[in-house]
Amino acid sequence: MQYRSLGRTGVQVSTLALGAMNFGAMARTGQDEGGAIIDAALEAGINLIDTADMYSQGESEQIVGKAIAGRRDDLVLATKATLPMGPDRNQQGGSRRWLVTALDDSLRRLGVDHVDLYQIHRWDPATSDEETLSALTDLQRAGKIRYFGSSTFPAYRIVQSQWAAREHHLSRYVTEQPSYSILQRGIETHVLPATQEYGMGVLAWSPLASGWLSGAIRAGQEISTYRAGLLQQRFDLTVPANRARLDAVEQLVKVADQAGLTLIQLALGFVTAHPGVTSAIIGPRTLDHLHSQVAAADTVLSADVLDAIDAIVAPGVDLAPDEKIDTPPSLLDASLRRR
């Protein structure tokens, strides 16, 4: 396992991080299997675990908390907030009122007195940067969080939040967690240059593109009922973007074979090859998934292999642009357009 500094914090984290989104009812990975995955991940050298309050409505945090009991200090623990956690309209967002409550709830579920990294899961356009950063700074000073970061922020929001922190003399986001894979390279255009400019750590989620780069989705191969049921539109091969992804995968398999790698090794090695990326977050549902992904921990791609990937999916290109979730609200909500 390789390790890198988390931005400019000095904290050393593994280049593969364990994501716990699949722990809990959503992906049917319960306490026993989730605990076994965590045990195996730590044994393999992974020292960063990333979860969120809304993953299976808190169940993921509970599974992680029970699994790490007694060895909390051996790992870097990260969680997130802002997405809805209940029917009340104030059980979400980036307000001080909610973040203070959400963090206390997460600490209780995790069974710890602090988290190392607390992340704003999505930018909240209804809340000012000063409000959110002020709350996070106070939580940091109270010792409940060591650092805080953003997740899936567009580049202009990364820049704006860094400016706001300096303008109001507050602590700043030290990490960003964007979606990044061979098939979704859009962040190379603006996001990664911005994070590099500000010395932010980058924790890339979905490096296997929701399974497209796991080897489970191939031409002439039936898509599992799990994927077809959970994310039907994302795997519908009548959708042009999905056909483009499938075509790219078939070409990438040939590149991996020629390099003596699995497709997973190629995919994860690509993400961690970028100098602006700190860690690739893997999200195994089973121990077998974990083992196949940890096998990529020391993968280093040659320049020839990286050039071959660029010829299949050009730098800065998203093959499924409609799946971007950092689009400004004014482009998604007709009532906000031209205002």
Among all residues, which ones are annotated catalytic?
55
The answer to whether the beta carbons of residues 49 and 106 sit under 8 Å apart is no
The answer to whether the beta carbons of residues 52 and 82 sit under 8 Å apart is no
For residue 174, give the amino acid letter. V
Helix segments in the chain, DSSP class H: 31-43, 59-68, 96-110, 129-141, 155-167, 191-197, 225-230, 232-235, 240-259, 263-273, 287-294, 303-312, 329-332
Tokens of 80: 């997130």
The answer to whether the beta carbons of residues 150 and 176 sit under 8 Å apart is yes
SS3 assignment, position 204? strand
Q: Residue 278: how many CB atoms within 10 A of its CB?
A: 26
Would you list the DSSP string of 167-193? HTT-----EEE-B--SSB-GGGTTHHH
Q: How far apart are CA 135 and CA 40, in angstroms?
A: 36
